[in-house]
């Protein structure tokens, strides 16, 4: 499997990673992915899959790049430390390779949260700091609060049918050596891709390169040098199919053909993105459990 450098770390990671949001596949598919080279596994405290991931990596932890996320309701200094320790216990490991802020929290000073993240690095409990669902501006503000380490990744929704990161975030990541970790690279289920592709552009390219539509869609994502795609697959056969999206490349012409012919693709406008941030801010200031805001956005994930 092809690899890409994580941020500015010099560490190579597979360009395809295993996601576990709403994962129901058990240990088998995760182990199959690792055997095929997808040794990067992503989870989060709110997913409820950390114990399963811990079981899947038992005995092979040294060969796994393990990532988890802290929920926004735990962004106070002491809560970040406690959440990390709970995740380590659930995962049956003594360190995380990547620890990510799951969403921005507008009610907690970002300086306090990043101070806790930097302390976790100093304690050896995490190796690298990442964020998730941050805009370019939010990413810059978070980075400005770190004195000794850098943010190495931002995990956001990105696919042929949702190219919102191309408006500014993807360029920022490329310019600043931040990896863009693409969740939902096959959209909110492959049926969404089909509906957005009335002329079956994916099918045309798939026939030309001898691959499946899913493999072409994943390869399109990872064609961007800064992008690592995180897919979720509950069955071993689907893991094998998705992992075979690496090791080959679309031509520039095929890449542009897909980009221009997936007619119904969705790219959120700046106004819509602002409205979503304001809605989340209002929920946070109202003191509601941030899990509801997280679920609202993640319901569209595969």
Residue 268's pLDDT is 57
Residue 195's pLDDT is 85
In angstroms, the CA 48 to CA 43 distance is 8
Q: What is the pLDDT of residues 197-240, one digit of tens each?
A: 889 999 999 999 999 999 999 999 999 999 999 999 999 999 99
Query: Which CATH architecture does the domain made up of 3-298 adopt?
Result: Alpha-Beta Barrel (3.20)
In angstroms, the CA 291 to CA 302 distance is 18
Q: What's the mean pLDDT in 277-287? A: 60
Average pLDDT score over the chain: 90
Say what the alpha-carbon torsion angle 24, 195, 155, 247 is, to the nearest 10 degrees: 80
Q: What is the pLDDT of residues 47-77, one digit of tens each?
A: 999 999 999 999 999 999 999 999 999 999 9
In angstroms, the CA 187 to CA 158 distance is 8
Which string of b and e fits 253-267 if b means at least 16 CB within 10 Å? ebbebbeebbeebbe
Domain boundaries, given as residue ranges, for the chain = 3-298
How many other β-carbons are positioned within 10 Å of the β-carbon of residue 56?
24
Among residues 190, 229, 236, which one has the least CA distance to residue 26? 236
Q: Say what percent of the chain tops pLDDT 90.
A: 81
């Amino acid at each position: 499997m092809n690899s890409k450098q994580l941020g500015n770390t010099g560490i190579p990671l597979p360009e395809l990673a295993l996601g576990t949001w709403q994962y129901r596949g058990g240990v088998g598919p995760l182990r199959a992915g690792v055997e095929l080279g997808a040794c990067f596994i992503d989870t989060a405290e709110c997913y409820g899959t950390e114990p399963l991931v811990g079981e899947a990596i038992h005995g092979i932890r040294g060969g796994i790049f393990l990532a988890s996320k802290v929920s926004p309701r735990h962004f106070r200094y002491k809560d970040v430390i406690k959440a990390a320790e709970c995740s380590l216990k659930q995962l049956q490991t003594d360190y995380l390779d990547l620890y990510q802020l799951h969403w921005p929290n507008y009610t907690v000073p970002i300086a306090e949260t990043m101070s806790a993240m930097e302390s976790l690095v100093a304690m050896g409990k995490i190796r690298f700091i990442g964020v998730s669902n941050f805009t370019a501006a939010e990413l810059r503000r978070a980075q400005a609060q770190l004195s000794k380490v850098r943010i190495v990744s931002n995990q956001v929704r990105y696919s042929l049918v949702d190219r919102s990161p191309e408006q500014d975030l993807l360029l920022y990541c490329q310019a600043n050596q931040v990896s863009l970790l693409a969740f939902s690279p096959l959209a909110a289920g492959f049926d969404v891709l089909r509906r957005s592709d009335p002329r079956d552009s994916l099918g045309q390219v798939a026939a030309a390169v001898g691959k499946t539509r899913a493999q072409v869609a994943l390869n399109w994502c990872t064609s961007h040098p800064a992008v690592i795609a995180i897919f979720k697959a509950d069955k071993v056969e689907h893991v094998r199919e998705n992992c075979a999206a690496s090791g080959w490349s679309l031509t520039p012409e095929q890449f542009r053909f897909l980009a221009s012919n997936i007619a119904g693709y969705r790219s959120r406008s700046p106004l819509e993105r602002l409205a979503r941030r304001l809605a989340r801010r209002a929920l946070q200031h109202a003191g509601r459990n941030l899990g509801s805001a997280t679920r609202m956005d993640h319901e569209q994930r595969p």
